[in-house]
Structure 1
Amino acid sequence: MSVYRFKSRETGDLVMLPAHGKRMLEILGKDPDSPGVLLPDDMPRAIDAIRAAVLNEEAEHKRLRDEAEAKGEVPPTFESVSLRMRSTPFIEMLQRALKERVEVVWGV
């Protein structure tokens, strides 16, 4: 897949590069290689899953930095655009779609 294009009747399309779109779908437990749909009833759980993944990533990065610092090593560097930043537009899309009770689709 060249890019992931998430669509909703309530919002404009949200386009993500393959690595980021795939990760978002994996967080949601969806098959990143197939078209799919996220129904309004599933959106609160999806939003919670993304937020939990963000917190887990931030905790892991902090742990790795603290560990390196304790050993006197150079702390690792991470992508300059975090999962939190990448997921924010997607969470906003899901919140708007949920409010209007419309689905979000991809790969169609």
Structure 2
Amino acid sequence: MLYKFKSRATADVIMLEPNGRQLLQIMGKSTDPHGIVTAAQIPAALQALEAAIAADEAKAPPDAGQAQAKDDDDAGERPDTVRLRQRAAPIIDMLKRSAAQGHDVVW
């Protein structure tokens, strides 16, 4: 399943089900296939996302030393971890633009 977030203020944002569900749970919304974040609810949703991102970054290991190569063949490789900040960025942008224009976000 995919989540397709829509707003009159921005282009659609499509997310895979686990990532979309995680962000909806953080915002305190139902993970049903259809729902809404009203313009009045957007500030609280943004605060919840920012708090979750701060908590995620606080528990993350420091970047120093993570990408050290074990031998010459592995030089330059990086971990494949996508942090919550990166996953939430499109939704945060959508929410901010929607709030500025007074539009709801639906999925």
TM-score, normalised to structure 2, is 0.79
- Percent sequence identity over matched residues? 38
> Could you report, residue by residue, the CA deviation over 1:58-98 in whole angstroms, capped at 9, with x for unpaired residues?
11224xx7xxxxxxxxxxxx861110011111100000000
Hey, which of these two has a bigger chunk of helix by percent? 1
* Equivalent AA in structure 2 for residue 11 of structure 1: T
Question: What is the alpha-carbon root mean square deviation over aligned residues?
Answer: 1.5
Asked whether 1:14 is paired with 2:24, we answer no
Unaligned 5+ runs, structure 2: 63-78
Alpha-carbon separation, structure 1, partners of 2:33 and 2:12: 18
* Equivalent AA in structure 2 for residue 47 of structure 1: L
User: 2:52 aligns to what?
Assistant: 53
Alpha-carbon separation, structure 1, partners of 2:92 and 2:80: 20
- The number of equivalent residue pairs is 91
TM-score, normalised to structure 1, is 0.78
User: 2:24 aligns to what?
Assistant: 25
Asked whether 1:93 is paired with 2:65, we answer no
Secondary structure class of the residue paired with 1:102: coil
User: 1:70 aligns to what?
Assistant: none
Shift of 1:34: 4.1
> Which structure: larger Rg?
2
After TM superposition, which residue ranges in structure 1, 4 or more long, deviate above 6 angstroms?
A: none
Shift of 1:35: 1.3
User: 1:71 aligns to what?
Assistant: none
Unaligned 5+ runs, structure 1: 66-77
